């Protein structure tokens, strides 16, 4: 099941790239493995997945030592400052930085272990999508400037969650807003290359709007079963 799902997703990515004049090599596919058991995760890794996404600090730090393949671990969820010390040692990229206080804590924990932590800033691009992320452009600029000055942070780009909706234009608006904010920052001296946007429901629109990282769970692993913990599946 999982290898077939991955092939279907990769096929759709390739076709949508072709249609919109993009190179599929510019796009990183992150398999979102939250609440997913080890058997499924190993199935995905055997099928060629190199990037996994988790949204809980504890689940991430429990899973990492159980997997012996080389994986780029992405942290996607809301991150509390007291959990940063568990995430920084294992995270390839943290997608969900949305305050100076959180960025400062990540910087401190990264300095402690002699690491430069790659990060993205989470932007709230619609009213309906989530309660997290920054929506005010000047606040975003201020946070980006803070990150640039922090010695142990490397700011790569922006991330957003689009509204869960059947309205494709509403979703597209959310993604184009993120792209425009990246342009705005780059015009002010930043060099951001990454746009983390697009999930199972909307990744083809995200490709058209310039996504460089897709975060896909359900289309790869099937519906998540929250009646059981990841250990029981
Ligand atoms: C769960 C999650 C995803 C993946 O969602 P699917 O709809 O299952 O593809 C992507 N991004 C974030 C931030 C998530 O929490």
Q: Is 118 helix (H, G, I), strand (E, B) or coil?
A: strand
- Out of 13, 53, 124, mutate this one to test ligand 1's pocket (max ligand atoms within 8 Å of CB): namely 53
What residue ranges define each of the domains in the chain, with the CATH number in brackets?
A: 2-221 (3.20.20.10)
CA dihedral 211, 215, 220, 226 (to 10 degrees): -150
Determine the atom of ligand 1 nearest the C-alpha atom of 215: 10
- C-beta 217 within 6 A of ligand 1: yes
- C-beta 216 within 6 A of ligand 1: yes
Q: How far is the CA of 135 from the centre of ligand 1 (A)?
A: 20
- C-beta 76 within 6 A of ligand 1: yes
Residue nearest atom 11 of ligand 1, based on CA coordinates: 215
Residue nearest atom 7 of ligand 1, based on CA coordinates: 200
Classify 213 in phi/psi space as left (phi over 0), alpha (psi -120 to 50) or beta. Answer: beta
Residue nearest atom 12 of ligand 1, based on CA coordinates: 76
Distance CA 89, CA 84 (A): 9
Distance CA 84, CA 159 (A): 18
Beta-carbon contacts of 164 under 8 Å, excluding residues fewer than 6 positions away, are 128, 129, 201
pLDDT digits (tens, 9 = 90+) for 170-211: 999 999 999 999 999 999 999 999 999 999 999 999 999 999
Beta-carbon contacts of 6 under 8 Å, excluding residues fewer than 6 positions away, are 31, 44, 47, 48, 49, 220
- C-beta 200 within 6 A of ligand 1: yes
Determine the atom of ligand 1 nearest the C-alpha atom of 95: 13
Residue stretches of the chain with pLDDT short of 70: 129
Q: How far is the CA of 162 from the centre of ligand 1 (A)?
A: 10
- C-beta 162 within 6 A of ligand 1: no
Beta partners for residue 117, in sequence order: 153
Beta partners for residue 97, in sequence order: 121
What is the DSSP code (8-state) at residue 230?
Answer: G
Question: Model pTM?
Answer: 0.97
pLDDT given at position 131:
76
pLDDT given at position 129:
63
At 65, give phi and psi (nearest 5°).
Answer: -70, -10
pLDDT digits (tens, 9 = 90+) for 125-138: 998 767 799 999 99
Q: How far is the CA of 198 from the centre of ligand 1 (A)?
A: 9
- C-beta 74 within 6 A of ligand 1: no
């Amino acid at each position: 099941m999982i290898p077939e799902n991955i092939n279907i997703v990769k096929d759709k990515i390739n076709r949508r790239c072709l249609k919109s004049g993009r190179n599929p090599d510019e796009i990183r596919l992150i398999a979102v493995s939250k609440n997913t058991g080890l058997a499924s995760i190993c199935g995905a890794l055997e099928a060629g997945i190199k990037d996994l996404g988790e949204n809980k600090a504890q689940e991430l730090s429990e899973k990492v030592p159980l997997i012996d393949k080389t994986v780029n671990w992405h942290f996607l969820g809301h991150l509390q400052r007291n959990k940063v010390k568990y995430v920084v040692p294992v995270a390839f990229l943290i997608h969900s930085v949305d305050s100076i206080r959180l960025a400062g804590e990540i910087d401190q924990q990264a300095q402690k272990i002699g690491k430069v932590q790659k990060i993205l800033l989470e932007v709230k691009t619609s009213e309906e999508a989530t309660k997290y992320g920054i929506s005010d452009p000047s606040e975003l600029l201020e946070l980006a400037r803070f990150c640039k000055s922090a010695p142990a942070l490397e700011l790569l780009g922006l991330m957003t969650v689009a509204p869960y909706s059947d309205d494709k234009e509403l979703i597209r608006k959310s993604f184009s807003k993120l792209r425009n904010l990246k342009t705005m920052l780059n015009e002010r001296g930043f060099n951001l290359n990454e746009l983390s946007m697009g999930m199972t429901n909307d990744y083809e629109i995200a490709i058209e709007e310039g996504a460089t990282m897709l975060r896909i769970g359900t289309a790869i692993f099937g519906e998540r079963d929250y009646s059981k913990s990841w250990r029981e599946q």
